[in-house]
Amino acid sequence: MNATLSIDSLSVVYDGYYALDAVSIDVAEGESFGLVGESGSGKSTLLRAVAGLAPVSGGSIRVEGTTLQGARRSKDFYRSVQMVFQDPYGSLHPRQTIDRLLLEPLAIHGVGDSESRITRALDEVGLGNGFRFRYPHQLSGGQRQRVAIARALILEPTILLLDEPTSALDASVQAEVLNLLEQVRRDRNLTFVMVSHDLGVVTHMCDRLAVMQNGAVVERLTARELSQGVVTQDYTRNLMIASKGFVRA
C-alpha cells in the first residue's frame, strides 16, 4: 500500500500516563480511515499529534513521504493537512465574519485569488455568497460546521483530519454534513482520517478502521467486517452494543 500518512509506534505521554502507546497505522492516498473507541481511548490525541497539537514522546509520523520532526509544523504541512474539529461553536472566531475567517488562511499562506477561492469554497459546502458577511452567531450549528469545512478546504489540502465532525450537531443535520464530506472526498480525491464514537458513521464513511482502547490499537477491521460483526475482540463487540442503532435485531 502506498501510504500517504504513516504512523509508526507513536506515543504521547503526559506525566507518566500513556495517552498513546506505540500506535501504528497506515492510510492510503484517497482512503477514508476511521478511528473508534470509547472516550479517552486516544482517538483525538492521535489526530492532535499528527497536527502538532499534542507532544510526541516516541515513534514517527510521515506525511506524503516526509517525516515530521517535533511539534512544529511547516506552512507546507498545513497546505497539505487540515483539521476539522468537533465543536463548530468553538472553532470559529465569534467576532470575525465568515469572509474574514476564510480569508485568514489564504493571507497566512500568501495565496492569491482570494475572491474566487472564497466564493468557490462557500459554494462547495452549500452556503453561497450570501453568507460571506454574516457572523458565526448568525448561523445554525450545521452551517457553522460547513464554514469550518470550507475553511479547511480553501487551501486545497490532500488530507483532512476529522475529529467527531458531526457529533455536536442535531441528528437531522448530521447526515447532510456527512454526505457533504463524502462528496468533497470523491470530488477532490482527499484522504480522510475520521474519529467517531458512532460505528454507523464509520461504516458509512470509512474503508478501514482501527479500534482503540487505553491509547492502543486493539483491532483492525474493514468497514464491511464491522458491519457484519466479524470482530475478534470483546471490546469491539461491546462498542457495537453501545452504539445506538448499530446492532440490528
SS3 annotation, 149-174: HHHHHCCCCCEEEEECCCCCCCHHHH
Residue 213 pLDDT greater than 80, yes or no? yes
If you average pLDDT over every residue of the chain, what do you get? Answer: 91
Please give the pLDDT value at position 28: 96
Parse the chain into domains and list their residue ranges: 32-58+73-242
**Section 60-76 average pLDDT:** 89
Please give the pLDDT value at position 6: 97
**Section 139-156 average pLDDT:** 93
**Comparing 118 with 249, which gets the higher pLDDT?**
118
Helix, strand, coil shares of the chain, percent, nearest 5, are 40, 25, 35
**Section 73-77 average pLDDT:** 89
Please give the pLDDT value at position 189: 94
Model-level pTM? Answer: 0.92
**Section 114-130 average pLDDT:** 92
Residue 245 pLDDT greater than 80, yes or no? no
Name the least confident of 20-24, 27-31, 64-68, 164-168. 164-168
**Comparing 153 with 245, which gets the higher pLDDT?**
153
**Section 214-240 average pLDDT:** 93
**Section 216-241 average pLDDT:** 93
All 3 cell numbers of residue 48? Answer: 492532535
Q: Name the CATH architecture for the domain at 32-58+73-242.
A: 3-Layer(aba) Sandwich (3.40)
d(CA 173, CA 156): 25
pLDDT-based confidence at 244, cuts 50/70/90?
low
**Section 142-163 average pLDDT:** 94
Q: Among 82, 73, 119, 123, which Cα is nearest to 99's?
A: 119
Residue 248 pLDDT greater than 50, yes or no? no
